[in-house]
A and B are shown apart, each in its own frame.
Chain A
Amino acid sequence: MRVLAIASAGGHWVQLLRLLPAFEKHEVTFISTNKSFAETVKGFDFYDVPDASRWNKLRLLYLLLCVARVVTKVKPQLIITTGAAPGLAGVIIGKVWGVKAIWIDSIANVEKISMSGRIAILFADKVYTQWPNLANSKVIYKGNVIV
């Protein structure tokens, strides 16, 4: 299966790599926001996109287009992401183009699901939290990335 794995630089990327055994058997392409990360996933295809935050709407739109371009090229059958903005872009594009998507909310979100995660619930097929107290009918808890 063609899997597109997306995470912005920093903690999101570190968490995505800790989930690698869940999808490495597939044909994986990565997207992140730092070009130099390609060397941390040698042997896999890698694309970099700009980062954006919800505070800059124009940049968010540009990010959406950049992620859409990679999706068009890679034609994934599944998108998996640990956030943040580039992952949300992927999940939204996935919904529009009929690509299944899994969102894993960052372990940093201890009190409530992240803002991006709350939007992702509307578009993704599965949403995970890493804290049991945040699980509900739409959000699954099955452990976390730091065991």
Chain B
Amino acid sequence: MIFVTIGAQEPFDRLIKAMDQLAPMLSDTTVVAQVYQTNYKAKNILTFDFLTPSEYSSYFDKASLIVSHAGMGTIISALVKEKPILVVPRQAKYGETRNDHQVSTAKVFELLHYVHVAYSVAELKLKLEELLLQNHKKVNKIGRYASAELIQSIESNILHI
């Protein structure tokens, strides 16, 4: 199962529509999507306007691949749970955000091998096919907390500033 998630702040119909159109080509893989204030009526994928935190984690945990916007919350959750993640950054030119910060974030995280990125709908199809072919995708793993150096520095600043 592929879990598509776009955060709870703004709609992202370009991604939902693309996933709906790609879904019939994904053979055995079902697609479940968390949407937000969408105007698009999906035909081939299961969509939810609202998921409770526990429903959300349940889909997240069951998924073999996460497809999402380039939001930090989703990226970090995927890394913690060792789920491969394919991000499609929101773009200002489509009115999906005010600026292209998600594109910059996606580029850096891609370079560091934390995420796979599709910068366009055309690329989304290619990347999905590629990822679904590799059954054991190697993913970067992260721990539960921030780096010890950062934690120690903040800890000491709390006491000394």
Within 8 A of A (CB), among B127-157: 142-155, 157
In whole angstroms, how far apart are the Cα atoms of A22 and B143 in the complex?
Answer: 15
Within 8 A of B (CB), among A1-20: 1, 3, 9-15, 18-20
Cβ distance B151 to chain A, nearest Cβ, rounded Å: 4
A140 within 8 A of B: yes
Whether A21 touches B158, Cβ cut-off 8 Å, given contacts A10-B71, A145-B150, is no
Q: Are A36 and B77 in contact (CB under 8 A)?
A: no
Q: Are B72 and A106 in contact (CB under 8 A)?
A: yes
Q: Are B158 and A14 in contact (CB under 8 A)?
A: no
Q: Are A102 and B158 in contact (CB under 8 A)?
A: yes
Q: Interface residue tally of chain A, by bracket? A: 35 or more
Q: Are A104 and B142 in contact (CB under 8 A)?
A: no
Q: Are B147 and A102 in contact (CB under 8 A)?
A: no
Nearest residue, chain B, Cβ from A111: B104
Q: CB within 8 Å of B: which residues of A?
A: 1, 3, 9-15, 18-23, 26, 34, 36, 39-40, 55, 78, 80, 100, 102, 104, 106-111, 125-126, 128, 130, 140, 142-147
Cβ distance B82 to chain A, nearest Cβ, rounded Å: 13
Q: Are A146 and B79 in contact (CB under 8 A)?
A: yes
In whole angstroms, how far apart are the Cα atoms of A19 and B147 in the complex?
Answer: 9
Q: List 13 A-B contacts (CB under 8 A).
A: A11-B72, A11-B75, A14-B77, A22-B146, A39-B53, A100-B161, A102-B158, A107-B72, A108-B70, A108-B101, A126-B157, A147-B143, A147-B148
* Chain A neighbourhood of B79, CB < 8 A: 146
Whether A11 touches B76, Cβ cut-off 8 Å, given contacts A18-B145, A142-B149, A146-B114, is yes
Interface of B, secondary structure class, is helix
Q: Interface residue tally of chain B, by bracket? A: 35 or more
In whole angstroms, how far apart are the Cα atoms of A18 and B147 in the complex?
Answer: 9
Whether A144 touches B147, Cβ cut-off 8 Å, given contacts A3-B158, A128-B154, is yes
Nearest residue, chain A, Cβ from B149: A143
- Cross-chain contact of A145 among B7, B8, B76 (Cβ < 8 A): B76
* Chain B neighbourhood of A126, CB < 8 A: 157, 161
**Per-residue contact bits, chain B 61-86, to A (CB 8 Å; 1 contact, 0 not):** 00000000011111111010000000
Within 8 A of A (CB), among B43-59: 52-53
* Chain B neighbourhood of A100, CB < 8 A: 161
* Chain B neighbourhood of A142, CB < 8 A: 147, 149-150, 153
B120 within 8 A of A: no
In whole angstroms, how far apart are the Cα atoms of A18 and B76 in the complex?
Answer: 10
* Chain A neighbourhood of B39, CB < 8 A: none
B9 within 8 A of A: yes
Cβ distance B2 to chain A, nearest Cβ, rounded Å: 21
